[in-house]
Structures are given as structure tokens and as C-alpha cells.
């Protein structure tokens, strides 16, 4: 039985689907109904589930971690994610995305170069990321450091990145499996997209257009 929990922390709703202390999917937003629906959308087909009004201790701890990630804080806690039901390539892309450090971004094309495939395939996986904000798909941008797409809206993506800036000035490389991933300071994105303002958002999910995830 998959257990679904939601919690309102300050001005944001967080929701998770859990199976034996593994996160099946997670989401966030400004209203409870949409946030829970995002989670329901990503539950594997034909698996039984139940929405609970009261959170367990594990769910409470998870929500605290999600809020810290959302606030741009350095989180050392590793959350166990249920990925076995996902295609192998999706697992590889999501795992690689998880290695992008706080304060850095990378491009769709850089991930494709590190794991194989093309930038469009990577973009499609980012658009359907079932573990927001745990798997930081908001740290994946276009090669020219413009934002690309984001299912929760570009203003939200810029908000998240703005909270994550750490004053880094140089790119670096990270080993990911048999490849290497180049990451860049998030400040590059903040300079490239100055017209995106920091405002409250309406949560939504939508697939990226081909023109929105060029790496």
C-alpha cells in the first residue's frame, strides 16, 4: 500500500507518496489539491494507495528535508527513492541530475553527453521528474544559461536557483558513472535571465516543448 501525505509549511504545500520508507514520488505547490494530484499522477499504475490526513514521523522528517531543499539550504540527509519501476535511461538521468551540487547548474546537453542519448530525451525526463524538488531538475538549464522549461513555471525555477547561489565563480567536473558532468555556478543563470522576477507562483505541470529544453 502506497501512503500519501501532504503538509503545508509556511506558504508552500509539499506532498509525498511513500512505500516502506521509500519515496515513490514527491511534489510541491501553492495549493493542497494540485500538489496531491501531482503525486497521484506519478504513482505507478494499478498500485493501491491511500491519502492520510495525519503524517507519520517519517513523513514529518521528509517534509522538513523537502522544505530545506526548497529554501536553498545544504541538505546532508539522503532520501531513499523508489526508481525500479522507471525505465533504465530515466533512472540514469535522474541519478546524474541528483549529483549536481548546490550552487551549480548544468545543461540538458551536458547530461546527455555524460550518460548518453540526446538533450531532448533528457529534457523530457526533466519535464516528468517524479521527485521534485529532491532530484533538482531546476538546476538543469540551456547551454546558454537561459532557463529552458520547468513544469512549475520559470519564475519558480528562478526563485529556487536564486536561493541556491553561493558565490562560486568557476565551473567544475563531476564523475558520474563512466562519464563526467560539467557544472557551472548558478550565478551564470541569474545573469543570463535578468527579466525573470521573483514572485509567488501557481503550481502546474506541463511537458517541455522541443524548443524549451535545448542543451
Active site residues: 137
Angle at Cα 9 formed by Cα 129 and Cα 149, nearest 5°? 30
Q: What is the DSSP string of 3-38?
A: EEEEEEETTEEEEEEEETTEEEEEEEESSHHHHHHH
Contacts of 201 (CB under 8 A, 6+ apart): 30, 152, 153, 155, 156, 159
Angle at Cα 213 formed by Cα 191 and Cα 37, nearest 5°? 105
Phi and psi angles of residue 109, each rounded to the nearest 5 degrees, phi first: -65, -35
The CA radius of gyration of the chain, in Å to the nearest whole number, is: 16
Q: Which helix (H) or strand (E) holds 65?
A: helix 57-70
Amino acid at each position: 500500500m502506497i501512503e500519501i501525505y501532504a503538509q503545508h509549511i509556511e506558504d508552500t504545500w509539499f506532498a509525498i507518496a511513500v512505500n516502506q520508507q521509500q519515496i515513490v514520488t514527491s511534489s510541491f505547490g501553492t495549493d493542497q489539491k494540485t500538489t496531491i494530484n501531482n503525486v497521484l499522477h506519478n504513482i505507478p499504475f494499478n498500485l493501491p494507495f491511500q491519502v492520510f490526513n495525519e503524517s507519520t514521523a517519517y513523513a514529518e522528517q521528509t517534509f522538513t528535508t523537502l522544505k530545506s531543499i526548497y529554501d536553498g539550504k545544504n541538505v546532508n540527509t539522503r532520501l531513499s527513492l523508489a526508481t525500479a519501476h522507471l525505465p533504465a535511461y530515466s533512472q540514469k538521468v535522474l541519478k546524474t541530475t541528483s549529483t549536481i551540487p548546490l550552487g551549480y547548474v548544468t545543461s540538458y546537453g551536458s547530461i546527455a553527453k555524460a550518460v548518453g542519448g540526446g538533450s531532448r530525451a533528457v529534457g523530457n525526463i526533466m519535464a516528468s521528474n517524479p521527485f521534485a524538488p529532491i532530484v533538482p531538475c531546476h538546476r538543469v538549464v540551456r547551454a546558454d544559461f537561459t532557463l529552458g522549461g520547468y513544469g512549475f513555471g520559470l519564475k519558480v525555477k528562478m526563485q529556487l536557483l536564486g536561493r541556491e547561489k553561493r558565490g562560486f565563480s568557476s565551473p567544475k567536473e563531476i564523475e558520474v558513472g563512466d562519464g563526467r558532468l560539467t557544472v557551472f555556478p548558478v550565478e551564470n543563470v541569474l545573469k543570463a535571465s535578468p527579466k525573470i522576477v521573483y514572485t509567488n507562483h501557481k503550481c502546474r505541470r506541463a511537458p517541455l516543448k522541443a524548443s524549451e529544453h535545448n542543451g
